[in-house]
Amino acid sequence: MDRRIRAPGIPAFLVISSLIVSACSQQATPGPAATAVATAAPAQSAAPTPNLRGAGGELKLLFWQGPVIMNPHLSQGSKDQEAARLVVEPMASMGPSGTPVAKLAAEVPTRANGGISADGTTVTWKLKSGVKWSDGTEFTADDVVFTYEYMADKAVAATTASGTRNIKSVVARDKLTVVVTFTAPTAVPYQWGVAETSAILQKAQFSAFKGANAKDAPGNQKPIGTGPYKVKDFKPNDIITYEINENYREAGKPFFKTVQIKTVADALTAARAVCQTGDADYGWSLNLAKDQLKPFLDSGRCNNIVTQGTSAESINFNFANNRLTGDQRAEPNTSHPFLSDLKVRTALAKAIDRQTIADQIWGGLTGSASCNLINTPRELISPNTATMDVCKYDLAAANRLLDEAGWVKGPDGIRAKGGVKMEIVYQTTVAAFRQQVQDVVKKAWESLGVKVELKAIPAGVFFSTDLNSPDTASKFFADVQEYANGYGDPDPEVFLSAWASENIKGRESGWRGTNYWRWKSAEYDALYFSLVKELDPAKRRDLIMKMNDLIVGQVVSIPIASFLRPVSGAAKELKGPIANPFEGDLWNIADWTK
């Protein structure tokens, strides 16, 4: 007499339900990493004298996204590249002001020193002599060339592969000279070779793994590098311990004997450990709400390491008709029933009180109101948007504009014209602050007589390339979508290409275009093509500002706020961290002291 009911379905149910329960309990995934530009940063400490190598005991860093791999070219996110940055180095770092700082290079090639050819097609890198890998072997131009080939190899499937675009060849002229030849004159000569995405791997360690077997390389966990530290122990998503690379080229550095990167659940835990209990020295990327972050900073135990970032939170309109069904839904050749009207877009933009939203949510601690898409470097910020009508909050004017455009309120209070009701589906990713912005904007638009339906989609789904999901940013099956968009290089050419009509892609091409909003403008395209060809920095600046102004003026995207970066917390005693919008927080860790 079996008193218990047994059915094969029960274990299955247990497993699946536990899977579902765990999925529901997950922490909110972070929005896409903001990238950024530099201004204020704590003063850099005086360089330690030579006898200080290893004088400083243990440095404890907390990350709330766990690094999983130490090969920056197979990384799954910027956190992996940051963790690898202690070990592997690029030829030059991108400095906080947007100019490169030589690392493995003897000097940064420029037009002035002849490193960049007059026609702008070749860049010649001279390397430092006498640099050694952590295993004691010599670092040469062969390693640099190998790294290029590794990144460009399709079978390797490097996530940093786009750095190798438009490059014809990278060759070693001699042991310490590398010549990069572009397919055409380039305005972005530092696209490859500069910053952590171009970190140099050791040829001897990786040459057997340049291909489909890239995943099997032991160097993925313990790369041999030229940086200040080497990996002692690596547990993905948990803890990484580093020890000094005794062959590091700079005498007297690094100061700390060992470094530890520990993964914790969220930014709040990291902030608590750095700013409250003093259990750690540095908390990475504390993307907290103003009200959460402020008490920690007020406690006086830690500094907020920030600078102006490249990332701006903006609301984007859909120019295609997402109301159609089947294969025609939001196809580029369709036109949105009301968002294609500039007056309507202007009215919706004018109803948004970006100042109040930004003050309430970020309060200048992590971000501030901005009506520009390009917010850094300083010389690229457009002064023109400040006086633009579309950037001014004015509900009455917004109502007038909609009246003028012929959209009248029906008995249900919703504006309509020719049988079309003004109903908006407004989507964004799941993040507390984004839902706050959604609520405020929804109230404002509803006061204009626009019906708004809100949708919040997990970031992992929203930004996926999965063609089966209807909720991706690239499909944009909604009227309005909001998220933060930024750029990694100080030159925003790639970022600005997302408004060029050549990047509009529909169903047929699997939505593989970056112009999600399907905006077509001959004027913008002309500016973009001039930018791609223009080599003169002053003229480029002018074009970039014009493009920014056109996007804002034509209300394709409504910038709400620009973010500061990296917003990391450092214990008061820690000296050396310099916020850098173009590199990870740890770009200058060799200079950190206590």
**Which residues lie below 8 Å from residue 500, measured CB to CB, with a gap of 6+?**
515, 524, 525, 528
- Provide the Cα torsion 518, 521, 527, 533; round to 10°: 60
Cα separation, 34 vs 309, whole angstroms: 7
Q: CA 208, CA 73: separation in Å to the nearest integer?
A: 16
Nearer to another protein, 18 or 447 (CB): 18
Nearer to another protein, 68 or 448 (CB): 68
Closest CA to 367 of 433, 443, 447, 449: 433
The correct pick among 119, 135, 174, 216 for binding another protein (CB under 8 A) is 216
Rounded to whole angstroms, what are the CA distances from 209 to 76, 201, 224, 414, 415? 19, 12, 14, 62, 62
For another protein, which is the closer residue by CB, 10 or 251?
A: 10
* Residues 507-536 contacting another protein, CB under 8 A: 512-514
Buried b (16+ CB within 10 A) or exposed e, 437-449: bbebbbebbeebb
When the beta carbons of 404 and 529 are compared against another protein, the nearer one is 529
70-129 residues in contact with another protein (CB under 8 A) are 74, 76-79
Our finding on whether 33 is near another protein (CB under 8 A) is yes
Taking the complex as a whole, the smallest distance from the CB of residue 529 to another protein amounts, in Å, to 18
Indicate which single residue of 40, 47, 155, 324 sits in contact with another protein (rule: CB under 8 A).
155
Q: Does 262 bind another protein (CB under 8 A)?
A: yes
Q: Which stretch binds another protein (CB under 8 A): 63-71, 433-441, 517-525, 570-578?
A: 63-71
Distance CA 591, CA 85 (A): 13
Site for another protein in 226-245 (CB under 8 A): 233, 235-239, 241
- Quick one: DSSP state of residue 243? E
Helices (H), 131-187: 141-152
**Of 167-175, 275-283, 313-321, 522-530, which segment contacts another protein by CB under 8 A?**
275-283
* Cα–Cα distance for residue pair 342/346, rounded to 1 Å: 6
Q: Residues in contact with another protein, total (CB under 8 A)?
A: 97
Of 97, 86, 121, residue with least CA distance to 191: 121
For residue 391, the minimal CB distance to another protein (Å) is 23
Contact 242, 586 (CB under 8 A): no
Check residue 360 for interaction with another protein (CB under 8 A): no
- The answer to whether 519 touches 498, Cβ cutoff 8 Å, is no
- Choosing from 11, 364, 410, 537, the residue that interacts with another protein (CB under 8 A) is 11
User: Interacting stretch for another protein, rule CB under 8 A, among 113-121, 215-223, 524-532, 554-562?
Assistant: 215-223
Number of Cβ within a 10 Å radius of residue 298: 9
Residue that the structure tokens 């580029």 belong to: 332
CB-based contact 231:70 (threshold 8 Å): yes
Q: Of the two residues 131 and 289, which places its CB atom closer to another protein in the complex?
A: 289
Residue among 152 and 397 whose Cβ is closer to another protein: 152
CB of 400 to another protein, least distance (A): 35
Region 169-188 residues binding another protein, contact defined as CB under 8 A = none
Residue closer to another protein by CB (options 78, 308) is: 78
Instruction: Give yes or no for residue 261 binding another protein (CB under 8 A).
Output: no
Site string for another protein, 436-475 (x = CB under 8 A): -----------------------xxxxxxxx-xx-xxxx-
Question: What is each CA distance from 538 to 379, 534, 544, in whole angstroms?
Answer: 10, 10, 10
Instruction: Candidates 360-368, 378-386, 486-494, 553-561: pick the segment binding another protein (CB under 8 A).
Output: 486-494
Q: Contact with another protein (CB under 8 A): which of 177, 181, 247, 269?
A: 269
- Cβ distance to another protein smaller for residue 25 or 325: 25
Q: Which stretch binds another protein (CB under 8 A): 24-32, 403-411, 523-531, 546-554?
A: 24-32
Of 173, 175, 215, 378, the one binding another protein (CB under 8 A) is: 215
Using DSSP bridges, classify how beta strands 423-429 and 451-457 pair: parallel, antiparallel or unpaired.
parallel
Give every CB contact of residue 412 below 8 A, 6+ residues apart in sequence. none
Please, what is the minimum distance in Å from the beta carbon of residue 415 to another protein?
32
